[in-house]
Amino acid sequence: MELVVGIDLATAAVRVMAAGAAGESHGTVERSLPQPWAPQPGWSEQDAGSWWPAVASALAELSSTLGDRARHVVALSVSATSATVVGMDPNGHPVGPALTYADQRAVPEAAAAQAAAADAWAAIGLTISPSFGLPKWARILNDCTSSSAPVARLGHASDVVVAALTGGLAATDTSHALKSGYDPVAGGWVEDALTALNIPKYLLPDVLPPGHRAGRLTREASRVTGLPLGCEVRLGMTDSCAAQLAAGAADPGRFVTVVGTTLVLKGASRTLIADPGGAVYSHRHPGGWWLPGGASSTGGRALAGGFPGRDLRDLDRRAAARGPAGCVIYPLVGRGERFPFAVPQAEGFQLGVAADEVERYRAVLEGVAFVERLGYERLRGLGAEPQGPVITTGGGSGGGAWNTIRSTLLGKPVEARTRASTALGACILAATGTLHPDLQTATAAMSVTGETFHPLPQEQPAMEQNYRRFLEELAKRGWIADRR
C-alpha cells in the first residue's frame, strides 16, 4: 500500500501524519517549537533554525512507527502558517530569526507597497497589511544590510523545510506567496511593489501551483528522516487552506470555519471575491477557482488566555446548561482586528457584567460566534454564496457546547470535522499526482466527515438580541457601518 506524508509547520508545534489513498491515518507525531518572542512591542520573532530539526525528528519517529511501511511512502508535502517569513542562504538555511504572522513592525513598508501598486492589489482583492510577508521581507533585507549575514533568497516557513528535504532552494507555491506580493491573476510578482520596497526580484523564488513537484528527498534527508530516498516532495498550501481541503470544503459554494488559535473562514468560489476594505482575500485553487476568506484575531486563544488552568470541558457543560449570556463580550486578544473588518486600533470590549465565571465563559463562546456570523454576512455581501451546513474544524471544533451555540446563531447546521487537520490537508496535496490524478479527486477521496450540530430554537431570540448589541457597539466605535 502506497502512503503519503503531510507536514504541518505551525507556530507552536510541528505535526506530521502518514495517510493512505482513502485518507486513513497510519500514524501521527508532534514536536513542540520554541515560542515566538517580542524584542519590541508589536514584534514577533521565532527561531527559524528550530524548524527543520523538529520536522526531521518527527519524521524519524513516524518512520519508526511505520516500520516496513515507511518504504512505501511515495510523496510528502509541507503546509505552514501564512505570512511567517525568513531570509535564507544559498543552501536554503535560515538567515536570522523568522518574522511570524503576528509581527506588525512593517507599517511604513506596507503603506509603501500598497500605494505603489494599488490597482494591482484591488484587482486581486488585497490590501497590504503589516502582517503580510511582503513588507516583512523588506524589513528582513534592511536588517541584514547592517549585518554580516547576506540573504540569497527570501522565503516562507514552508520553503525552509522544502529546501532541507530537497537539498537546496526550490520553488514556493501560490498559496504561501499570496501575501508576499504574488499576483495569482497575472501569474507573477507585483514588480511596482518590489521596486518601492527595494526588493530585488532575483531574491524571490519561482512560484508553482500547490501539489506541484518541488523535488525529491535527498540522501541526507532520507538518512535523518527514515523516509525513502527519492520520494517526491510536493508543494503545499497555507495551514488554513490545507485544513479546508481536509474538511472537504473545496468545491464552489462550500465553506469551512477553522476554530484554532484564531478564527478563520475559508470557502470556494467560481469567481474572485474582492473586498475594498481589505478584510477578505482570495487564494487561487489549482482547479482554477478561488478560495476567499479571512482570519480574525480572536478565536480559541481567547479561551486559553481568559481561563488559564481551568477544565474547559467542565465549563462547556455548565455553559450549555446556563443558556444565553446576559452580557456581551468581544473577546479580541491584543490590539487590532483583521476580519471581518480590518481595524488596526480595535480592542476587545464587554457590555454588562457577568454573574460568574460560567456566564463569562458562555459570553466568550458567543462572542467568537458573533465574529463568525458577521464574517459570513460580509462574505455574502461581497458576492460569495456559502451553501449547505457550515463545516468546522480546528482545535475548538470539538466542543459540543460551542458548536451548538454557533449553529443557533448562524441558523443552520454545523458539521464538526475534528479530524480535518492541516497535516491531513498536506497529505492530500502530497497525494495529488501520486496516489490520485488531481487535487479535486484527492480531496474527494481523502477528506473526512463528522458530527452535525443543530440550532436550539428556544435560545435563538436571546442570542439574536446579544448579536444586535454586539453590532451596535461595533458601529458606535466606527468599526462597521451602522445597520439600523
- Residue 422 included in any domain: no
Average model confidence (pLDDT) across the chain: 92
Asked if residue 244 lies in contact with residue 266, where contact means CB atoms within 8 angstroms, the answer is yes
- Residue 135 included in any domain: yes
Q: Which of 241, 274, 305 is the last residue of a domain?
A: 241
Asked if residue 343 lies in contact with residue 479, where contact means CB atoms within 8 angstroms, the answer is yes
Domain co-membership, 76 together with 209: yes
In the chain, pLDDT over 90 holds for what percent of residues?
Answer: 70
Of residues 275 and 16, more confidently modeled: 16
Helix pair 422-431, 239-246: axis angle to 10 deg? 80
**C-alpha cell, 27:** 500514524
**C-alpha cell, 201:** 526580484
Read off the pTM. Answer: 0.85
Q: Which of 189, 219, 241 is the last residue of a domain?
A: 241
Domain co-membership, 9 together with 130: yes
Domain co-membership, 63 together with 179: yes
- Residue 439 included in any domain: no
- Residue 434 included in any domain: no
- Residue 447 included in any domain: no
Q: What is the pLDDT of residue 148?
A: 56
Domain co-membership, 230 together with 350: no
Domain co-membership, 200 together with 321: no
Q: Could you give the 3-state DSSP secondary structure of residue 459?
A: helix
Domain co-membership, 196 together with 155: yes
For residue range 36-60, what is the model confidence (pLDDT) as tens digits? 999 998 899 999 999 999 999 999 9
Asked if residue 430 lies in contact with residue 75, where contact means CB atoms within 8 angstroms, the answer is yes
Query: Over 90: is that where the pLDDT of 250 sits?
Result: no
Domain CATH code at residue 65: 3.30.420.40
| Stretch among 58-72, 165-179, 302-316, 407-421 having the lowest mean pLDDT | 302-316
CA dihedral 160, 165, 169, 175 (to 10 degrees): -60
Domain co-membership, 212 together with 344: no
Asked if residue 39 lies in contact with residue 464, where contact means CB atoms within 8 angstroms, the answer is no
Q: What is the mean pLDDT of residues 266-275?
A: 87
Q: How confident is the model at residue 281 (pLDDT cuts 50, 70, 90)?
A: confident
Q: Which of 241, 264, 294 is the last residue of a domain?
A: 241
The length of the chain is 484
Helix pair 157-166, 51-66: axis angle to 10 deg? 60
How many separate helices (H) and strands (E) can be counted in the chain?
Answer: 16, 23
For residue range 152-180, what is the model confidence (pLDDT) as tens digits? 999 999 999 999 999 999 999 999 999 99
From the number of C-beta atoms within 10 Å of its C-beta (0-12, 13-18, 19+), residue 149 rates as exposed
* Alpha-carbon span 3 to 69, nearest angstrom: 8
Rg (CA), the chain: 22
Show the domain range for 379: 249-416+454-476
- Residue 484 included in any domain: no
E strand spans, 301-369: 328-330, 349-351
- Residue 432 included in any domain: no
Domain co-membership, 313 together with 394: yes
Query: Over 80: is that where the pLDDT of 302 sits?
Result: yes
Q: How many domains does the chain have?
A: 2
Domain co-membership, 142 together with 216: yes
Domain co-membership, 235 together with 288: no
Domain co-membership, 233 together with 283: no
Q: Nearest-5° angle of CA 291, CA 292, CA 294?
A: 125
Domain co-membership, 235 together with 298: no
- Residue 437 included in any domain: no
Q: How confident is the model at residue 6 (pLDDT cuts 50, 70, 90)?
A: very high
First-to-last CA distance in the chain?
60
Q: In what order do the strands lie in the sheet with 3-9?
A: 25-32, 13-19, 3-9, 73-80, 232-238, 213-216
Pairing assessment for the beta strands 390-393 and 255-259 based on DSSP bridges: parallel
For residue range 87-114, what is the model confidence (pLDDT) as tens digits? 999 999 999 999 998 898 999 999 999 9
